[in-house]
Amino acid sequence: MTKQDILRVAVIGGDGTGPEVAAEGVKVLKAVAALEGIQYELQDYDLGGDRYLRTGEVLPESVLGELAAFDAILLGAVGHPEVAPGILEKGLLLELRFRFDQYINLRPVKLYPGVETPLAGKGPEDIDFVVVRENTEDLYCGMGGFLKKNTPDEVAMQTAVYTRKGCERCIRWAFEYTRKRNKKKRLTLVAKTNVLTYGHDLWWRTFQDVAKEFPDVAPDYNHVDACCMWMVKNPEYYDVIVTTNMFGDIITDLAGILQGGMGVAAGGNINPEPGGTSMFEPMGGSAPKYTGKGMINPIAMIAAVAMLFEQAGYEKASQRITNAIQTVTGTKMKSQAAGKMGYSTSQVGDLVCEAL
Ligand code: IPM
Ligand code: MN
Protein backbone atom coordinates (compact mmCIF):
# COMPACT_ATOMS: atom_id res chain seq x y z
CA MET A 1 0.00 0.00 0.00
CA THR A 2 1.46 3.31 -1.07
CA LYS A 3 0.09 6.84 -1.30
CA GLN A 4 -2.33 7.39 -4.21
CA ASP A 5 -4.09 10.48 -5.60
CA ILE A 6 -7.41 8.92 -4.71
CA LEU A 7 -7.67 6.63 -1.71
CA ARG A 8 -9.81 3.68 -2.77
CA VAL A 9 -11.49 1.84 0.10
CA ALA A 10 -13.75 -1.22 -0.06
CA VAL A 11 -16.06 -1.74 2.91
CA ILE A 12 -17.05 -5.23 4.03
CA GLY A 13 -19.45 -4.83 6.94
CA GLY A 14 -19.66 -8.60 7.30
CA ASP A 15 -21.54 -10.31 10.12
CA GLY A 16 -23.31 -9.39 13.34
CA THR A 17 -22.33 -5.97 14.64
CA GLY A 18 -19.75 -5.61 11.83
CA PRO A 19 -21.94 -3.38 9.63
CA GLU A 20 -22.80 -1.11 12.61
CA VAL A 21 -19.20 -0.45 13.51
CA ALA A 22 -18.14 -0.21 9.85
CA ALA A 23 -20.72 2.57 9.38
CA GLU A 24 -19.06 4.59 12.17
CA GLY A 25 -15.63 3.95 10.65
CA VAL A 26 -16.89 5.26 7.32
CA LYS A 27 -18.48 8.28 9.02
CA VAL A 28 -15.12 9.23 10.57
CA LEU A 29 -13.27 8.48 7.32
CA LYS A 30 -15.51 10.91 5.43
CA ALA A 31 -15.26 13.59 8.10
CA VAL A 32 -11.47 13.53 8.32
CA ALA A 33 -11.10 13.35 4.52
CA ALA A 34 -13.20 16.51 4.23
CA LEU A 35 -11.06 18.32 6.83
CA GLU A 36 -7.77 17.21 5.27
CA GLY A 37 -8.81 17.53 1.63
CA ILE A 38 -8.25 13.84 0.90
CA GLN A 39 -9.88 12.41 -2.22
CA TYR A 40 -11.43 9.00 -1.73
CA GLU A 41 -13.75 6.43 -3.21
CA LEU A 42 -15.83 4.02 -1.15
CA GLN A 43 -17.57 0.86 -2.24
CA ASP A 44 -19.60 -1.59 -0.19
CA TYR A 45 -19.27 -5.35 -0.59
CA ASP A 46 -21.90 -7.78 0.58
CA LEU A 47 -19.86 -10.66 2.00
CA GLY A 48 -20.26 -12.74 5.14
CA GLY A 49 -22.57 -15.29 6.70
CA ASP A 50 -25.83 -13.97 5.26
CA ARG A 51 -24.55 -14.11 1.70
CA TYR A 52 -23.11 -17.56 2.32
CA LEU A 53 -26.44 -18.85 3.64
CA ARG A 54 -28.27 -17.25 0.72
CA THR A 55 -25.96 -18.22 -2.15
CA GLY A 56 -23.29 -20.63 -0.86
CA GLU A 57 -20.60 -18.11 -1.79
CA VAL A 58 -17.96 -17.00 0.71
CA LEU A 59 -15.48 -15.07 -1.43
CA PRO A 60 -16.05 -15.45 -5.17
CA GLU A 61 -12.98 -15.08 -7.43
CA SER A 62 -14.70 -12.22 -9.26
CA VAL A 63 -15.01 -10.26 -5.99
CA LEU A 64 -11.36 -10.97 -5.15
CA GLY A 65 -10.45 -9.58 -8.56
CA GLU A 66 -12.41 -6.39 -7.89
CA LEU A 67 -11.01 -5.97 -4.39
CA ALA A 68 -7.47 -6.10 -5.79
CA ALA A 69 -8.06 -2.66 -7.31
CA PHE A 70 -8.56 -1.07 -3.87
CA ASP A 71 -5.84 0.34 -1.63
CA ALA A 72 -7.61 -0.82 1.49
CA ILE A 73 -10.48 -2.87 2.81
CA LEU A 74 -12.38 -1.93 5.96
CA LEU A 75 -13.70 -5.12 7.50
CA GLY A 76 -16.39 -5.01 10.20
CA ALA A 77 -16.55 -8.56 11.56
CA VAL A 78 -16.63 -12.18 10.47
CA GLY A 79 -18.56 -14.96 12.26
CA HIS A 80 -22.21 -16.02 12.00
CA PRO A 81 -24.11 -18.15 14.54
CA GLU A 82 -25.75 -20.23 11.78
CA VAL A 83 -22.52 -20.95 9.91
CA ALA A 84 -20.15 -23.68 11.15
CA PRO A 85 -16.99 -22.25 12.76
CA GLY A 86 -14.09 -22.01 10.34
CA ILE A 87 -16.00 -21.53 7.09
CA LEU A 88 -16.09 -17.75 7.20
CA GLU A 89 -12.93 -17.32 9.28
CA LYS A 90 -10.86 -19.38 6.84
CA GLY A 91 -12.82 -18.68 3.68
CA LEU A 92 -13.09 -14.93 4.08
CA LEU A 93 -10.77 -13.42 6.71
CA LEU A 94 -7.74 -15.69 6.28
CA GLU A 95 -8.31 -15.96 2.52
CA LEU A 96 -8.17 -12.18 2.18
CA ARG A 97 -5.01 -12.03 4.30
CA PHE A 98 -3.32 -14.73 2.22
CA ARG A 99 -4.53 -13.84 -1.26
CA PHE A 100 -3.54 -10.20 -0.86
CA ASP A 101 -0.28 -11.27 0.79
CA GLN A 102 -0.96 -9.03 3.78
CA TYR A 103 2.16 -10.23 5.50
CA ILE A 104 2.10 -7.75 8.37
CA ASN A 105 -0.54 -7.90 11.07
CA LEU A 106 -0.05 -4.64 12.95
CA ARG A 107 -1.67 -4.46 16.37
CA PRO A 108 -1.03 -1.29 18.37
CA VAL A 109 -1.60 -1.68 22.10
CA LYS A 110 -2.39 1.73 23.48
CA LEU A 111 -4.34 2.50 26.64
CA TYR A 112 -6.36 5.62 25.80
CA PRO A 113 -7.08 8.15 28.55
CA GLY A 114 -10.16 7.29 30.59
CA VAL A 115 -10.06 3.63 29.59
CA GLU A 116 -9.92 1.02 32.31
CA THR A 117 -7.19 -1.63 32.26
CA PRO A 118 -7.26 -4.74 34.45
CA LEU A 119 -3.62 -4.04 35.39
CA ALA A 120 -3.49 -2.43 38.83
CA GLY A 121 -1.46 0.75 39.00
CA LYS A 122 -0.82 1.06 35.25
CA GLY A 123 -1.94 3.99 33.13
CA PRO A 124 -1.72 5.29 29.55
CA GLU A 125 1.97 6.13 29.99
CA ASP A 126 2.71 2.45 30.80
CA ILE A 127 0.69 0.69 28.12
CA ASP A 128 1.83 1.87 24.71
CA PHE A 129 3.47 -0.71 22.49
CA VAL A 130 2.93 -2.35 19.13
CA VAL A 131 2.85 -6.00 18.09
CA VAL A 132 3.96 -6.83 14.54
CA ARG A 133 2.57 -10.29 13.84
CA GLU A 134 3.67 -12.26 10.78
CA ASN A 135 0.42 -12.92 8.92
CA THR A 136 0.93 -15.49 6.15
CA GLU A 137 2.85 -18.49 7.52
CA ASP A 138 3.25 -20.70 10.58
CA LEU A 139 0.37 -22.96 11.68
CA TYR A 140 -2.02 -20.76 9.70
CA CYS A 141 -0.97 -21.99 6.28
CA GLY A 142 -3.27 -25.02 6.45
CA MET A 143 -0.62 -27.69 5.78
CA GLY A 144 -1.37 -31.05 7.29
CA GLY A 145 -3.78 -33.90 7.19
CA PHE A 146 -5.25 -36.96 8.78
CA LEU A 147 -4.18 -40.56 8.63
CA LYS A 148 -6.64 -43.32 9.55
CA LYS A 149 -9.26 -40.71 10.35
CA ASN A 150 -11.99 -41.75 12.77
CA THR A 151 -10.17 -44.91 13.80
CA PRO A 152 -8.42 -45.61 17.10
CA ASP A 153 -5.11 -45.24 15.23
CA GLU A 154 -5.88 -41.78 13.91
CA VAL A 155 -2.98 -39.41 13.29
CA ALA A 156 -3.43 -35.67 12.75
CA MET A 157 -0.62 -33.45 11.53
CA GLN A 158 -0.61 -29.66 11.37
CA THR A 159 2.62 -28.20 10.09
CA ALA A 160 4.12 -24.87 11.02
CA VAL A 161 5.76 -23.44 7.91
CA TYR A 162 8.43 -20.76 8.18
CA THR A 163 10.36 -19.42 5.21
CA ARG A 164 13.43 -17.21 5.16
CA LYS A 165 11.63 -14.81 2.83
CA GLY A 166 8.50 -14.77 5.00
CA CYS A 167 10.24 -14.03 8.29
CA GLU A 168 12.81 -11.70 6.77
CA ARG A 169 10.27 -9.36 5.17
CA CYS A 170 8.29 -9.21 8.41
CA ILE A 171 11.33 -8.65 10.61
CA ARG A 172 12.71 -5.93 8.30
CA TRP A 173 9.36 -4.14 8.28
CA ALA A 174 9.27 -4.32 12.09
CA PHE A 175 12.75 -2.79 12.37
CA GLU A 176 11.74 0.00 10.01
CA TYR A 177 8.55 0.58 11.98
CA THR A 178 10.48 0.72 15.27
CA ARG A 179 12.86 3.28 13.79
CA LYS A 180 10.00 5.38 12.45
CA ARG A 181 8.00 5.16 15.68
CA ASN A 182 11.06 6.64 17.37
CA LYS A 183 10.13 5.87 21.00
CA LYS A 184 12.28 3.42 22.94
CA LYS A 185 13.82 2.16 19.68
CA ARG A 186 13.70 -1.40 20.97
CA LEU A 187 12.46 -4.35 18.91
CA THR A 188 11.71 -7.52 20.87
CA LEU A 189 11.55 -10.81 18.98
CA VAL A 190 9.02 -13.08 20.70
CA ALA A 191 9.45 -16.77 19.87
CA LYS A 192 10.30 -20.12 21.48
CA THR A 193 13.85 -20.86 20.37
CA ASN A 194 14.45 -23.25 23.27
CA VAL A 195 11.88 -25.73 21.92
CA LEU A 196 11.17 -24.86 18.28
CA THR A 197 14.80 -25.42 17.39
CA TYR A 198 14.25 -25.44 13.61
CA GLY A 199 11.52 -22.95 12.78
CA HIS A 200 12.35 -20.42 15.43
CA ASP A 201 16.05 -20.87 14.88
CA LEU A 202 15.39 -19.57 11.38
CA TRP A 203 13.56 -16.58 12.89
CA TRP A 204 16.38 -16.00 15.38
CA ARG A 205 19.16 -16.10 12.77
CA THR A 206 17.19 -13.89 10.41
CA PHE A 207 16.52 -11.42 13.23
CA GLN A 208 20.25 -11.22 14.02
CA ASP A 209 21.10 -10.65 10.35
CA VAL A 210 18.51 -7.94 9.75
CA ALA A 211 19.38 -6.21 13.06
CA LYS A 212 22.80 -5.32 11.54
CA GLU A 213 21.02 -3.00 9.08
CA PHE A 214 19.50 -1.03 11.98
CA PRO A 215 22.28 -0.02 14.39
CA ASP A 216 19.95 2.61 15.94
CA VAL A 217 17.39 0.00 17.03
CA ALA A 218 18.15 -2.24 20.03
CA PRO A 219 17.43 -5.89 19.19
CA ASP A 220 15.89 -7.82 22.08
CA TYR A 221 14.45 -11.30 22.64
CA ASN A 222 11.77 -12.89 24.86
CA HIS A 223 10.47 -16.44 24.89
CA VAL A 224 6.71 -16.28 24.35
CA ASP A 225 5.80 -17.64 27.79
CA ALA A 226 8.02 -15.10 29.52
CA CYS A 227 6.58 -12.36 27.31
CA CYS A 228 3.07 -13.15 28.65
CA MET A 229 4.38 -12.69 32.15
CA TRP A 230 6.29 -9.47 31.43
CA MET A 231 3.41 -7.99 29.48
CA VAL A 232 1.29 -8.16 32.62
CA LYS A 233 4.01 -7.26 35.10
CA ASN A 234 5.92 -4.57 33.17
CA PRO A 235 4.04 -3.55 30.03
CA GLU A 236 6.01 -0.30 29.98
CA TYR A 237 9.10 -2.31 29.01
CA TYR A 238 7.83 -2.96 25.49
CA ASP A 239 8.16 -0.73 22.45
CA VAL A 240 7.69 -2.96 19.39
CA ILE A 241 7.33 -6.74 19.41
CA VAL A 242 7.78 -8.87 16.29
CA THR A 243 6.48 -12.41 16.39
CA THR A 244 5.19 -15.43 14.50
CA ASN A 245 1.59 -15.79 13.35
CA MET A 246 0.29 -18.19 16.02
CA PHE A 247 2.07 -16.60 18.96
CA GLY A 248 1.02 -13.20 17.65
CA ASP A 249 -2.61 -14.29 17.63
CA ILE A 250 -2.40 -15.34 21.27
CA ILE A 251 -0.36 -12.51 22.76
CA THR A 252 -2.48 -9.85 21.03
CA ASP A 253 -5.61 -11.03 22.83
CA LEU A 254 -3.70 -10.68 26.09
CA ALA A 255 -2.46 -7.28 24.95
CA GLY A 256 -5.96 -6.34 23.80
CA ILE A 257 -7.43 -6.75 27.25
CA LEU A 258 -4.60 -4.68 28.76
CA GLN A 259 -5.65 -1.78 26.54
CA GLY A 260 -9.29 -2.01 27.58
CA GLY A 261 -10.67 -4.91 25.60
CA MET A 262 -12.11 -5.76 22.26
CA GLY A 263 -14.08 -2.52 21.99
CA VAL A 264 -10.81 -0.65 21.58
CA ALA A 265 -8.29 -3.03 19.99
CA ALA A 266 -7.71 -2.63 16.25
CA GLY A 267 -5.59 -4.47 13.72
CA GLY A 268 -4.15 -3.79 10.29
CA ASN A 269 -3.39 -6.54 7.77
CA ILE A 270 -0.84 -4.83 5.63
CA ASN A 271 0.66 -5.53 2.24
CA PRO A 272 3.33 -2.80 2.22
CA GLU A 273 4.26 -3.30 -1.44
CA PRO A 274 3.31 -0.71 -4.10
CA GLY A 275 -0.20 -1.47 -5.31
CA GLY A 276 -0.82 -3.86 -2.41
CA THR A 277 -4.28 -4.12 -0.88
CA SER A 278 -4.32 -3.86 2.92
CA MET A 279 -7.18 -4.55 5.30
CA PHE A 280 -8.13 -2.91 8.59
CA GLU A 281 -10.43 -4.36 11.22
CA PRO A 282 -11.48 -4.14 14.84
CA MET A 283 -10.12 -7.13 16.75
CA GLY A 284 -13.46 -7.98 18.35
CA GLY A 285 -15.79 -10.48 16.74
CA SER A 286 -19.31 -10.20 15.34
CA ALA A 287 -20.95 -10.12 18.82
CA PRO A 288 -24.28 -11.65 17.65
CA LYS A 289 -26.10 -10.87 20.88
CA TYR A 290 -25.61 -7.13 20.40
CA THR A 291 -26.49 -7.08 16.70
CA GLY A 292 -28.75 -4.23 15.62
CA LYS A 293 -29.01 -2.75 19.11
CA GLY A 294 -26.66 0.20 18.70
CA MET A 295 -24.80 -0.94 21.80
CA ILE A 296 -21.47 -2.06 20.38
CA ASN A 297 -18.34 0.07 20.74
CA PRO A 298 -17.08 1.48 17.42
CA ILE A 299 -13.80 2.85 18.84
CA ALA A 300 -11.77 -0.15 17.61
CA MET A 301 -13.15 0.31 14.09
CA ILE A 302 -12.40 4.02 14.21
CA ALA A 303 -8.87 3.26 15.42
CA ALA A 304 -8.58 0.88 12.43
CA VAL A 305 -9.48 3.81 10.16
CA ALA A 306 -6.69 5.84 11.80
CA MET A 307 -4.32 3.00 10.97
CA LEU A 308 -5.60 2.93 7.39
CA PHE A 309 -4.75 6.60 6.93
CA GLU A 310 -1.34 6.14 8.56
CA GLN A 311 -0.45 3.25 6.26
CA ALA A 312 -1.81 5.07 3.21
CA GLY A 313 0.60 7.94 3.91
CA TYR A 314 -1.86 10.41 5.47
CA GLU A 315 -0.21 10.74 8.84
CA LYS A 316 -1.91 14.01 9.79
CA ALA A 317 -5.36 12.54 9.19
CA SER A 318 -4.40 9.52 11.24
CA GLN A 319 -3.11 11.60 14.15
CA ARG A 320 -6.26 13.68 14.04
CA ILE A 321 -8.42 10.59 14.53
CA THR A 322 -6.20 9.24 17.31
CA ASN A 323 -6.40 12.57 19.13
CA ALA A 324 -10.18 12.67 18.70
CA ILE A 325 -10.51 9.13 20.07
CA GLN A 326 -8.52 10.17 23.12
CA THR A 327 -10.76 13.18 23.70
CA VAL A 328 -13.86 11.00 23.50
CA THR A 329 -12.58 8.18 25.73
CA GLY A 330 -11.01 10.62 28.15
CA THR A 331 -13.83 13.12 28.54
CA LYS A 332 -17.09 11.56 27.31
CA MET A 333 -17.47 7.78 27.37
CA LYS A 334 -18.38 6.10 30.66
CA SER A 335 -16.98 2.72 29.70
CA GLN A 336 -15.65 0.86 26.68
CA ALA A 337 -17.96 -2.13 27.27
CA ALA A 338 -20.89 -2.70 24.92
CA GLY A 339 -24.09 -1.18 26.33
CA LYS A 340 -22.22 0.71 29.06
CA MET A 341 -20.66 3.48 27.02
CA GLY A 342 -23.21 6.12 28.04
CA TYR A 343 -23.85 6.60 24.30
CA SER A 344 -25.08 4.54 21.37
CA THR A 345 -22.75 3.21 18.68
CA SER A 346 -23.60 6.05 16.30
CA GLN A 347 -23.39 8.70 19.03
CA VAL A 348 -19.82 7.60 19.74
CA GLY A 349 -19.07 8.00 16.01
CA ASP A 350 -20.60 11.48 16.10
CA LEU A 351 -18.55 12.44 19.16
CA VAL A 352 -15.33 11.40 17.42
CA CYS A 353 -16.31 13.45 14.34
CA GLU A 354 -17.00 16.50 16.53
CA ALA A 355 -13.62 16.09 18.23
CA LEU A 356 -11.68 15.92 14.95
C1 IPM B 1 -7.57 -12.68 14.80
C2 IPM B 1 -8.57 -13.80 14.84
C3 IPM B 1 -8.36 -14.71 13.64
C4 IPM B 1 -6.94 -15.24 13.73
C5 IPM B 1 -9.38 -15.84 13.51
C6 IPM B 1 -10.79 -15.32 13.51
C7 IPM B 1 -9.13 -16.70 12.30
O8 IPM B 1 -8.48 -14.50 16.03
O9 IPM B 1 -7.64 -11.86 13.87
O10 IPM B 1 -6.73 -12.61 15.69
O11 IPM B 1 -6.71 -16.30 14.33
O12 IPM B 1 -6.06 -14.62 13.17
MN1 MN C 1 -7.02 -13.70 17.41
Q: What does pLDDT average to over the chain?
A: 97
Q: Please say if the pLDDT value at position 1 is more than 90.
A: no
Q: Residue 58 half-sphere exposure, CB side, CA atoms within 13 Å? A: 16
Nearest bound ligand to the CA of residue 15: 1
CA 5–ligand 2 middle distance (angstroms): 33
Its pTM stands at: 0.96
79 Cα–ligand 1 center, Å: 11
Beta strands in the chain (DSSP E): 7-14, 40-44, 72-77, 104-110, 128-134, 144-147, 155-158, 186-191, 218-223, 240-243, 266-270, 278-282
Instruction: Give me the sign of the Cα torsion angle 79, 80, 85, 89.
Output: negative
Evaluated on CA atoms 183, 186, 189, 190, the torsion sign reads: negative
Q: What is the pLDDT of residues 311-343, one digit of tens each?
A: 999 999 999 999 999 999 999 999 999 999 999
Residue 310 has what pLDDT?
Answer: 96
State how far the Cα of 295 lies from the Cα of 94, in Å rounded to an integer: 27
Kindly state the average pLDDT of the residues 12-21.
97
Percentage of the residues of the chain whose pLDDT score is greater than 90: 97
* For residues 27-56, average pLDDT: 97
Which residue of 249, 250, 251 sits with most ligand 1 atoms within 8 Å of its CB, as the best mutation to test the pocket? Answer: 249
78 CA from centroid of ligand 1 (Å): 10
For a ligand 1 pocket test, name from 88, 92, 93 the mutation site with the most ligand atoms within 8 angstroms of its C-beta. 93
Residue 4: pLDDT above 80? no
For ligand 1, the distance from its centroid to the CA atom of residue 246, given in whole angstroms, is 9
Query: Please, what is the Cα angle at 164 between 266 and 61, to 5 degrees?
Result: 55
Please tell me the distance between residue 186's alpha carbon and the centre of ligand 2 in angstroms: 24
Compute the distance between CA of residue 159 and CA of residue 27 in angstroms, rounded to an integer. 42
Ligand 1-lining residues (CB < 6 angstroms): 89, 93-94, 249
* Residue 12 Cα distances to 77, 78, 107, 255, 281, angstroms: 8, 9, 20, 26, 10
